[in-house]
Structure 1
Amino acid sequence: MRAITGNDRKTKMRSAGQFPPITLTAIDHDRLSGLAEAIADTVPDVHDYLAAELDRAVVVSPGEIAPSVVTMNARVTFRDEVAGQERTVTLVYPQEADVAAGRVSVLTPIGAALIGVAEGQSITWFTRQGVAKTLAVLEVEHSHAGEGASAA
């Protein structure tokens, strides 16, 4: 089986209608844009996916982001629609990632899929092995207002 490229993923997801609208704060958008460029050569699949998400995102000021939207440092409960399993993670920058503690990097395929999605939305993403997964965001929690926008 051939590897699925970033362009293949975008084409498949657009044709499947699995691109829900996403919203990012201007601060998250700027920082994630820099991170995406930094990984272009080392992790091209995640770069392609994250860059596509950044391109299509609605960018707002930190005060305008809805509390139901996944931002950086948000605690997110989602359901794997294929396996039917629920999982709760905190979306973090790579240096803060700790899978055992439930801290998932935004530079992983699932982290890149979660950013900007709101409660009640579903999104299809692809594992590094090219397997399609669909997750539904069930709950988004922020420890305090603006955390996702101001985290460094």
Structure 2
Amino acid sequence: MIRSEIVVGKTDHGKLMRLANGLMERNPDLAEELVGELERASVADDAAIPAGTVQMGSTVEYRTGGDPPRRVTLVYPVDADIAQGRISILTPVGTALLGLSVGQTIDFVANDGRQHLMTIVSVEEGSDAAA
């Protein structure tokens, strides 16, 4: 598997660990995937996150395989709305996006069980990462 180095801000890291821990009994596979990503992340002060790094609330353009680029905003589950391009951190794509920077690539297993290779094309900082 391709696993690029990732950076997550302290605030997001804390909120996401609480979210994952709350899911352990209801959906252990999903919780473990998120915890795995959080555990391998470098945790940085929120103000020290490098520009172009996907954080909660970021709008991201990514490419998978030969498909055209897709543009989404990474959000907490309560704010998810696929029709508006707002994808939950608790989706395979959402978990894979967290902490990546422009140009980085990661592979992930989608809801359909197939493995995909995703490359980050651009990242716009979110105005507010809403909890």
Both structures adopt the same fold (TM-score exceeding 0.5): yes
TM-score, normalised via structure 2 length = 0.93
May I ask how many residue pairs the two structures share in their alignment?
131
Equivalence map 1:27-106=2 (5 Å): 27-81=11-65, 83-106=66-89
C-alpha contact 1:46 1:112 (8 A) present in aligned 2? no
Letter in 2 for 1:40: M
In our comparison, the structure showing a higher alpha carbon Rg is 1
Give the root-mean-square deviation of aligned CA atoms. 1.3
1:24-49 CA distance string (max 9 Å, x none): 00000000001111122323332121
Aligned AA for 2:123? V
Letter of the structure 1 residue corresponding to residue 81 of structure 2: D
Per-residue Cα deviation, 1:80-133 (whole angstroms, up to 9, x for no partner): 12x422100000000000000000000111100000011000000101332101
Q: Does 1:126 align with 2:109?
A: yes
Q: Larger % of helix: which? A: 1
Distance 1:45 1:109 in 2: 11
Gaps of 5+ in 2: none
Tell me the TM-score normalised to structure 1 length.
Answer: 0.81
Deviation for aligned residue 1:143: 4.2
Q: Distance in 2 between matches of 1:127 and 1:45?
A: 13
Quote the sequence identity (%): 37
Instruction: For 2:47, give the aligned amino acid.
Output: G
